[in-house]
Amino acid sequence: MLTIDFKNAKLDKNFNDYAADVERCHGYLHDKTGLGNDFVGWVEWPNSYDKEEFDRILALKERLAGKYDTVLVCGIGGSYLGARAALEMIKGLYPDDGVEVIFIGNTFSASYISQVLKHIEDKEVVLNVISKSGTTTETSISFRIFKQWMENRYGADAKNRIIATTDKARGTLKALADKEGYDTYVIPDDIGGRYSVFTAVGLVPLALANVDIKALMDGAKKAYDDFANKDVNENPAYQYAVARRILDDKGYGAEMFVTYHLQLTMIAEWWKQLFGESEGKDGKGILPTSACFSTDLHSLGQFIQEGRKMLYETVFAIDDMGADLVFPSDDENIDNMNYLAGKKLSWVNEMAMEGTLSAHSDVGEVPNIVIHLKDNSAYSFGYMMYFFFKACGMSCYLLGVNPFNQPGVEVYKKKMFKLLGKE
């Protein structure tokens, strides 16, 4: 399902050197004894998730079937990135199943919000607002605007088309949802935003967008079983975490997450939040950055190959993306491309990956970790996301930081609120 190749990672230590530390940190995750232990609910979630709520989500999709062609998903950060990453990886960038998902609540840009308002003029819309705190400014601004749009458009029926995902009891969004009579779904107390894709945060929009959420949870459960071993020699998630620590100690301050398909760009964005927000604190952490090849080889390739030796790459390769194309022959061959006639584009992409790996690693001496995932199904998505959760928790605990808080994010909010005149 998922394998990791460390042979070009240039690790100069053995995983076994970290065995005792990994075992200790495994205890932090599984016994809830580490920093931020109030927020490790995601560890057991593939086993313990609320099956009743899960069935309610499936029933919601049934209830709304045929009534919408557009899903507005209003949220930011952990209340947004996981669902978008899943949709694009699983369904591609231009799905043709009659449901368009549009993400709002993740920007103050009036230009973007105006474009969405214009775009949905003739659409049949449902709106899922997602916020654990219920007070996030970007989300609240968009929600008020689109709530009013829904009320103007659907009148009394608007409340049947608005779904709120938030805290089970607290917060202004919960209060508003109860007052208006919206269907509500819960973000558990002990699961933070960036670890929440397997809760209603991810499941509601994904179900509405026709993703098989049962398969997704089955994949997460399989990953739970596969990555529950405290022995680093037997646990690829912990090996990835240790490799990150070894490279960090060697002075590599940046990790570039590399994909080879444009529909995986949001996986990279999700991964950047997961590792950046979890690890970047107390003056520590590896800067998570990303690129999509071969596209970005034509922009960032030069720096990676010959620029400052500050980064390593983690290549996220999906072995079977489903669709393929055979490159056509041309009788005139004026473009001199007939040498590829009859070849599959998946093979061309694979050769690009192999060649780039050799150029960056052998010639440029850039360490490369390669993670292979079998395919882009919902099951594999669930499996892969849980793998990264586990690796991230371990990586942070090995570094000695709390993986589950984000105190630095508050600083910009305070400065902004002062300027906006918020009490």
Catalytic residues: 277, 298, 413
267: nearest Cα among 395, 374, 275: 275
Least spacing, CB of residue 402 vs ligand PA5, in Å: 12
Identify which of residues 8 and 142 has a Cβ nearer to ligand PA5 in the complex.
Answer: 142
In whole angstroms, the minimum distance from the beta carbon of 25 to ligand PA5 comes to: 21
Q: Does 106 bind ligand PA5 (CB under 6 A)?
A: no
36 makes contact with ligand PA5 (CB under 6 A): no
Give the DSSP H or E segment for 130: strand 125-130
Q: Cβ closer to ligand PA5: 201 or 242?
A: 201
Give the list of residues 6+ apart from residue 6 with CB closer than 8 angstroms, or none.
239, 243, 369
Q: Beta partners for 74?
A: 104, 129
Residues 273-302 that bind ligand PA5 (CB under 6 A): 277
The least distance separating ligand PA5 from the CB of residue 173, rounded to whole angstroms, comes to: 8
Nearer to ligand PA5, 34 or 301 (CB): 34
* 105 C-beta neighbours (distance < 10 Å), count: 27
Q: Which residues lie closer than 8 Å to 101 by C-beta, 6 or more apart? A: 70, 71, 73, 84, 87, 205, 208, 209
Q: How far is the CB of 177 from ligand PA5 (least distance, A)?
A: 14
Residue 255: strand pairing partners: 288, 312
Is 132 among the residues that bind ligand PA5 (CB under 6 A)?
Answer: yes
Beta bridge pairs of residue 312? 255
Closest CA to 141 of 385, 420, 331: 420
- At 287, list the tokens: 């800067």
Q: How far is the CB of 409 from ligand PA5 (least distance, A)?
A: 7
Check residue 184 for interaction with ligand PA5 (CB under 6 A).
Answer: no
Cα(204)–Cα(63) distance, integer angstroms? 13
- With H, G, I as helix, E, B as strand and everything else as coil, classify residue 36: coil
Q: Which of 37, 107, 133, 305 binds ligand PA5 (CB under 6 A)?
A: 133
Query: According to the binding rule CB under 6 A, does residue 313 interact with ligand PA5?
Result: no
- Which residue, 139 or 184, is less far from ligand PA5 as judged by CB? 139
Instruction: Looking at residues 69 to 88 of the shown chain, list those that interact with ligand PA5 (rule: CB under 6 A).
Output: 76-79
Q: Quick check: 405 binds ligand PA5 (CB under 6 A)?
A: no
77 dihedral zone (left: phi>0; alpha: psi -120 to 50; beta): left
* CB nearer to ligand PA5: pick between 61 and 413: 413
Nearer CB in complex with ligand PA5: 137/338: 137
Q: Is 390 in the site for ligand PA5 (CB under 6 A)?
A: no
Phi/psi region, residue 244 (left: phi>0; alpha: psi -120 to 50; beta: rest), is alpha
Q: What is each CA distance from 421 to 309, 414, 416, in whole angstroms? A: 45, 11, 9
Q: Please give the residue ranges that form the binding site for ligand PA5 (CB under 6 A).
A: 76-79, 131-133, 136, 139, 192-194, 277, 406
